[in-house]
């Protein structure tokens, strides 16, 4: 896990899940283990390179586990580690906030 001196626990959480795709990767992996191509389909719009980079960073941070089955053709699955699963409550709270206050926030995509 990358370590950096932080002064606020919120900053720690944000540094781990920051970026456009990490929260959504966690969301889909909460459903269970997935192969790379399935994640890419679920994340509609993510490039191969970006998904690969995000997964590597998340593995380094201890959020996901990459399981290589050593088969031909290659079969690799990604799943959440216990640390990654612990973010479920954070994502649930974000979901609830979005439902409650989302209509009051102007999306940057709409501007």
Residue 6 pLDDT exceeds 80: no
At residue 44, what are phi and psi to the nearest 5 degrees?
10, 100
Distance, CA of 89 to CA of 24 (rounded, Å): 14
Read off the pLDDT of each residue in 26-30 and give the average, rounded to a whole number: 96
pLDDT of residue 74: 87
What confidence tens digit (pLDDT) does each residue in 12-24 have? 888 889 888 999 9
Residue 72 pLDDT exceeds 60: yes
Q: pTM of this prediction? A: 0.83
Q: Residue 99, SS3?
A: helix
What confidence tens digit (pLDDT) does each residue in 44-69 have? 989 999 999 999 999 999 999 999 99
pLDDT of residue 108: 66
pLDDT of residue 30: 96
Residue 5 pLDDT exceeds 70: no
């Amino acid at each position: 896990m990358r370590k950096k001196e932080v002064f606020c626990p919120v900053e720690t959480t944000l540094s781990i899940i920051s970026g456009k795709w990490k929260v959504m990767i966690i969301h889909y992996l909460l459903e269970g283990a997935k192969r790379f191509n399935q994640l890419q389909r679920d994340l509609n719009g993510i490039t191969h390179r970006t998904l690969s980079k995000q997964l590597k960073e998340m593995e380094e941070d201890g959020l996901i586990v990459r399981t290589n089955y050593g088969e031909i053709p290659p079969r690799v699955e990604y799943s959440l580690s216990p640390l990654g699963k612990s973010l479920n409550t954070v994502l649930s709270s974000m979901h609830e906030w979005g439902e409650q206050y989302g209509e009051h926030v102007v999306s940057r995509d709409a501007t």
